[in-house]
Amino acid sequence: MCSIFAALMYKFFRNILFLFPTESIHYFSMNALKLACKIGFLKKLIASQFTVRNARFEKEIFGLHFKNTVGLGAGFDKNALYLNELETLGFGFVEIGTVTPLPQAGNDKPRLFRLPKDQALINRMGFNNDGVKVIAERLRKWNNNHQPSTIDHCLIIGGNIGKNKITPNEDAWKDYEICFRELFDCVDYFVVNVSSPNTPGLRELQEKDALRKILSHLQNINKEQKKPKPLLLKIAPDLSVSQIDDVISLAEEIKLDGLVATNTTISREFLITSKEQIQNIGMGGLSGLPLKQKSVEVVKYIHEKTNGSIPIIASGGIFNVDDAKEKLQAGASLIQVWTGFIYEGPSIVKKILSGL
């Protein structure tokens, strides 16, 4: 009953929040939650409302123990600023980043846009982040203060890594290596991001030869470590079947631990929002409900093509338990929300898990 009330309250406040610029209200909301979680009884109250604790939601994947299968996709907490708060909301795992070697401001603002009629977002953030050294130090402090003594402190952290905008594609492998080495002791798994549409030329790195150079180099470094970390690749929903086949072949060749399917799309098909408004927004990756079906198709294709041998984290258009079930039935091992979190609010994890 309380969770229903909380959901209704969020819808009321969402209408107010949506009156303000998308990016600034994102940070305002998360900073307000951060402030609330500094007050002991409020943090316990928030956790009691939004966290579901049940052993049947736990899962072993990539050699890691997830307390539940619902995670938060990269791009929401780029700089690992809100891990305590996201843990309090019940997420089983959070992917930070995309992280680049050098700090960068990203693209010019405004760069994040709501499409309420489509329950979607368009973003062209451009890998804005504090840089790998700052983020790594922040993660080390967080890890030191969160010893995993109970299930409540088993938040899995993924490190989503990319290249700086100024780095030419032929040198991209160096950027991925820098991030991999710097974050190695700070995160539980890695995701290589070559599929964002918001860094010029980045998606060219999805071609097989370029991708092989990056992934094989990282995997060689990984194998040298005492305890290698799971290494995954995030792919775009706009790949052709032959390109997906190349990704699968490469994943098997290099022995990747999994794939994240999918990133945002550059497609603007089947939108309710007026063409004039879409043109005024301009370039960027589209996420949310319009991406749902395409993401399901990619997950299902990979799962069937590999007979389930490559674990998949499904992302794209997950708003409720039915969306989550569809992804899991298509072959996903874990799911990530992002845009659904914006539209459905802090109860999204609890609602999905309770339905599952």
pLDDT at 149: 40
* C-beta of residue 105 within 8 angstroms of C-beta of residue 67: no
Mind spelling out the 3-state secondary structure of 289-348?
HHHHHHHHHHHHHHHHHCCCCCCEEEECCCCCHHHHHHHHHHCCCEEEECHHHHHHCCCH
- Report the C-alpha gap between 319 and 342 in whole angstroms: 9
Average pLDDT, the chain: 95
pLDDT in tens, 316-329: 999 999 999 999 99
pLDDT at 9: 80
Give the global pTM: 0.96
pLDDT above 90: residue 115: yes
Mind spelling out the 3-state secondary structure of 16-42?
HHCCCCHHHHHHHHHHHHHHHHCCHHH
* Sign of the four-CA dihedral 267, 269, 272, 276: positive
pLDDT in tens, 251-306: 999 999 999 999 999 999 999 999 999 999 999 999 999 999 999 999 999 999 99
Q: What is the CATH number of the domain that holds 277?
A: 3.20.20.70
Active site residue 216: no
Contacts for 89 with CB less than 8 Å, ≥ 6 apart: 46, 50, 51, 346, 349
Tokens describing residue 263: 């990133």
- Report the C-alpha gap between 226 and 89 in whole angstroms: 33
Mean pLDDT of 215-241: 97
Q: Running DSSP on this structure, what letter comes out for residue 265? A: B
Q: Which domain holds residue 93?
A: 2-355
pLDDT above 60: residue 150: no
At residue 151 the predicted structure's pLDDT band, cuts being 50, 70 and 90, is very low
Separation in Å, CA 51 to CA 16, 44, 60, 202, 254: 25, 10, 20, 37, 37
Select which of 195, 196, 333, 347 is catalytic.
196
Mean pLDDT of 61-85: 97
Among residues 51, 31, 25, the alpha carbon closest in space to that of 348 is found at: 51
| Domain count across the chain | 1
Mean pLDDT of 195-205: 93
- Report the C-alpha gap between 122 and 286 in whole angstroms: 5
Mean pLDDT of 136-164: 84
pLDDT at 11: 84
